[in-house]
Structure 1
Amino acid sequence: MQVSPTDLAAFPGAPFVQEHINAVVAKLERALGWHVAPSKEETLTVRAGGDRMLVLPSRKVTAVAEVRSGGAVVSSGDYVLTGAAEAMLEGYWSGTYEVDVTHGFETVPADLLGEIAAACVAFRTDPSLAAWSSGPFSATLRGPGQGAGPSSTFYAYSVNLGV
């Protein structure tokens, strides 16, 4: 998702720092399990075990261009959207497929902006957390009894998963 401090300016706790917004947005998309906004074309890898529907891991699918298995095209352009919960392709599906989709909202839905702002406030007010980054995962923590002022000493921790 692309959210800026300007998008959140009207919410309690504003102004927000872009780095905090980015961390909250990354966490939200991981929790949701799908790309929210903006709309983009992407290839999803989906596994099925002899099912009548191939469930795509996204809620806002606007187009399915092609489905491949082992490099061979098995379906093109037909899908059934079952409510707001998921997109499914009808047929018999067994194995692993690459599905070229267009998915995501054009802009971040307004109801999510309030959730992002609230999470930014919580993120900012955590007394142990001074900074956070999302990829390749790092955090800067305050030591015990240290304030948030400019003379505070911070302990930095980072994790590189080799991804």
Structure 2
Amino acid sequence: MTAPPEPEIVTPEELAAFQAEDGIDELSLAAAISEVRGYCGWHIAPQRTEALTLDGPGLSLLLLPTMQVAELDKVVENGVELAAGAFEWSAKGMLRKRSGWTDRWRSIEVTLTHGYAKAPAELIRLILAAATAQIDDGAAGSAEKVGPFEFSVAQLQPHQLAILNRYRLGWGA
């Protein structure tokens, strides 16, 4: 069995310090990170540059699947690169084009750098605590049964969800 890839939100040093204290394993940590990212609807941290292909909303506002835009490199609509003055953008992940965006699916390409350069401390602690809870609960949480399949799912607590809601996209991504 190969080890899962190194998690990005929590550094190896933070993991080592936490392992020494609470005995967390990499698989539980990767599962906790995945759960947080899935709940929030975007990667959160670390900052990365990527190209997104999006459906055109047919409105003047385009919502990106991020809440932390550092830099917008390029916007292409229907195969045509837009000049910087053709739209406005917000660090919170919104692009406004006064003439309106196309309504065609997969017709907008956005290249941007987004995410937190370093994950906020409250998220790091939440992820480490959730990973520890998975170990303590033995594969974490409650067993779900769907037809012949049974699986366990981690359970985030209400106070943890309240923290995550500050980083959760308010729109579909």
Q: Which TM class, normalised by the smaller chain length?
A: 0.5 to 0.7
In structure 1, what residue type is equivalent to 2:53?
T
Q: Which amino acid aligns with 1:89?
A: L
Unaligned runs of 5+ in 2: 1-7, 141-149, 153-173
Asked if residue 98 in structure 1 is aligned to residue 109 in structure 2, the reply is: yes
The share of aligned pairs that are identical, in percent, is 29
Structure 1 gap segments, 5+ residues each:
130-138, 142-163
CA shift for structure 1 position 3: 1.5
Runs of 4+ in structure 1 deviating by more than 6 angstroms, as ranges, are: none
The equivalent residue for 1:153 is none
CA contact (8 A) 1:65 1:76 kept: no
- Larger % of strand: which? 1
Q: Deviations over 1:18-53 (max 9, x none)?
A: 221112112211211112111110011222332111
Rg: which structure is higher? 1
Q: Work out whether 1:117 is the aligned partner of 2:124.
A: no
Question: Are the structure 2 counterparts of residues 54 and 140 from structure 1 closer, same or farther at C-alpha, using a change threshold of 3 Å?
Answer: closer
User: Shift of the alpha carbon at 1:69?
Assistant: 2.6
- 1:27–1:74 distance in 2 versus 1, CA, 3 Å: same
Question: Aligned partners of 1:79, 1:116: CA distance in 2, in Å?
Answer: 34
1:69 aligns with 2:77: yes
Contact kept in structure 1, 2:63 and 2:94, CA below 8 Å: yes
Query: TM-score, structure 2 length as denominator?
Result: 0.63
Task: Identify the residue that residue 37 of structure 2 maps to in structure 1.
Answer: 29
CA separation in 1, counterparts of 2:123 and 2:56?
31
Q: CA deviation at 1:4?
A: 3.9
By relative contact order (CA 8 Å, sep 6+), the higher-ranking structure is: 2
* One-letter identity of the residue aligned with 1:6: E
Give the TM-score of the pair, scaled to structure 1. 0.66
Distance in 2, Cα, partners of 1:26 & 1:128: 14
Q: How many residues were matched structurally?
A: 129
Whole-angstrom CA distance in 2 between matches of 1:90 and 1:128 = 44
1:81 and 2:90 correspond: yes
Matching residue's letter, 2:55: R
